[in-house]
C-alpha cells in the first residue's frame, strides 16, 4: 500500500506524492518564469543585432561555451539561493543566442506567423507529453541512455552541418531534434512524477532545454519549408 504513495528518488530519499507534486508545481512555475528572460534576450538580440556577427565556427564556440558554462553553474548552485538567478541568466543567454534565427525568420513576409506556429506547435507537444507522462504507469527510465546517445549524434551532425551548410541536412537534423527532444520531454516529466528528479531547478533546466530545442527545430523547419520572401 505504501508503494502507491511513496517512491525512492535518485538521492535514495523516500518521496511522498505530496512532495513529488510540490516539485512538479515549482518546476512549472519556474519554467513559466524562465520564458520571460528568454523573450527579453531574443528581443534584445533582434533589436540591437548584437548576435549577427556570431556566424559559423565563432557562433558555435560562443553558444556551446556559454551554454555548458551556465549548465555547469546551475548544477553547482541548484541547492542554494543562487540557483534560480543563475538559471534565469542562462535562459536570457539562450534567448540572445536564438535571436539570430528569429531575426532571419522575421525577414520573411510571413515571419511572425511562422514564429507563432512554432510556439503553438511546441506548446502542443508539451501538452501531449505531459498528458502521456501522467497516464503511463510503467517505468521508462531505460529510455534515458538511448535518448542521450541520440542527442549526441544529432549534436555532432548539427556541428558538422554548421560548416557544410546543407539545407537538406538542416531539415533532417531539425526533424530528428523534434523527435528526440519531444521524447525527452516525456522522459523528464515522468522522472518528476515518479520521484526520480527531486530538485525543481534541475527539473526546470531539463524541461527548458527540451522546449528550447523543439521550438528552435520547428522554427528552422518552418523557415526552410514555409518562409515567403517579400
Q: Is the pLDDT of residue 224 over 90?
A: no
What is the C-alpha separation between 67 and 58, in angstroms, rounded?
14
Could you state, in order of their start, the residue ranges of all structural domains in the chain?
13-226
* Burial of residue 94, with CB atoms counted within 10 A of its CB: 0-12 exposed, 13-18 middle, 19 or more buried: buried
pLDDT digits 0-9 by tens, 90-138: 999 999 999 989 988 998 888 899 999 999 999 999 999 999 998 988 8
Instruction: Look over the chain and give the mean of its residue pLDDT values, rounded to a whole number.
Output: 87
Q: pLDDT tier at 230 (50, 70, 90 boundaries)? A: low
pLDDT given at position 159: 84
* pLDDT computed for residue 52 by the predictor: 74
pLDDT at 87 over 60: yes
What average pLDDT does the segment 37-51 reach? 90
Nearest to 88 by CA among 26, 25, 22, 31: 31
Amino acid at each position: 500500500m505504501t508503494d502507491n504513495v511513496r517512491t525512492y528518488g535518485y538521492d535514495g530519499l523516500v518521496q511522498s506524492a505530496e512532495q513529488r507534486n510540490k516539485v512538479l508545481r515549482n518546476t512549472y512555475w519556474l519554467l513559466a518564469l524562465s520564458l520571460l528572460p528568454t523573450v527579453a534576450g531574443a528581443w534584445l538580440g533582434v533589436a540591437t543585432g548584437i548576435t549577427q556577427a556570431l556566424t559559423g565556427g565563432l557562433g558555435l564556440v560562443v553558444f556551446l561555451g556559454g551554454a555548458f558554462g551556465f549548465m555547469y553553474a546551475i548544477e553547482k548552485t541548484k541547492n542554494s539561493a543562487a540557483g534560480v538567478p543563475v538559471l534565469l541568466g542562462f535562459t536570457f543567454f539562450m534567448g540572445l543566442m536564438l535571436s539570430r534565427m528569429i531575426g532571419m525568420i522575421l525577414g520573411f513576409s510571413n515571419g511572425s506567423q511562422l514564429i507563432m506556429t512554432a510556439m503553438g506547435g511546441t506548446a502542443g507537444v508539451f501538452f501531449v507529453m505531459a498528458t502521456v507522462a501522467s497516464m503511463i504507469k510503467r517505468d521508462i527510465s531505460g529510455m534515458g541512455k538511448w535518448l542521450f546517445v541520440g542527442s549526441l549524434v544529432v549534436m555532432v551532425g548539427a556541428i558538422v552541418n554548421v560548416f557544410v551548410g546543407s539545407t537538406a541536412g538542416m531539415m533532417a537534423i531539425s526533424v530528428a531534434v523534434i523527435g528526440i527532444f519531444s521524447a525527452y520531454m516525456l522522459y523528464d516529466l515522468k522522472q518528476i512524477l515518479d520521484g526520480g528528479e527531486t530538485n525543481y531547478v534541475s527539473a526546470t533546466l531539463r524541461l527548458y532545454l527540451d522546449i528550447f530545442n523543439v521550438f528552435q527545430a520547428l522554427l528552422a523547419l518552418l523557415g526552410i519549408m514555409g518562409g515567403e520572401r517579400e
